[in-house]
Chain A
Amino acid sequence: MESKTSDRKSTDKKINWKDIVLLQIIVMIFSLTSVTAKFASMQDAFTSSFFLFYGAELAILAVYALLWQQAIKKFDISVAYANKAMVLLWGLLWGTVIFRDAVNAKEIAGVALVIVGVIVINSGDNTGMERTDE
Chain B
Amino acid sequence: MSNLTLCVLLMICSELIASSSQMFLKKSAGISYDNRIKEYVNRYVITGYIMLFVSMLITIRAYSFADSYMNVPVLETMGYVFVMVLGRIFFGEKITRSKIIGMLFIFAGIIIYYLP
Contact = CB atoms under 8 A, between A and B. Distances in A.
A96 B57 CA distance: 24
A62 to B, nearest CB: 9
B105 A120 contact: yes
A15 interface: no
Interface of A: 1-2, 4-7, 10, 31, 33-34, 37-38, 40-41, 54, 57-58, 61, 65-66, 68-69, 72-73, 76-79, 81-82, 84-85, 87-88, 91-92, 94-95, 98-99, 101-103, 106-107, 109-126, 134
A92 to B, nearest CB: 7
Interface of B: 19, 22-23, 25-32, 39-40, 45, 49, 52-53, 56-57, 59-61, 63-64, 68-70, 72-74, 76-77, 79-80, 83-84, 87-88, 91-99, 101-115
Contact of B83 (A57, A81, A98, A124): A81
Contacts of A99: 68-69
A85 B98 CA distance: 16
A54 B96 CA distance: 37
Contacts of B25: 68-69, 72, 77
A101 B106 contact: no
Contact of A110 (B97, B104, B114): B114
Contact of A34 (B39, B72, B92, B105): B72
A118 B113 contact: no
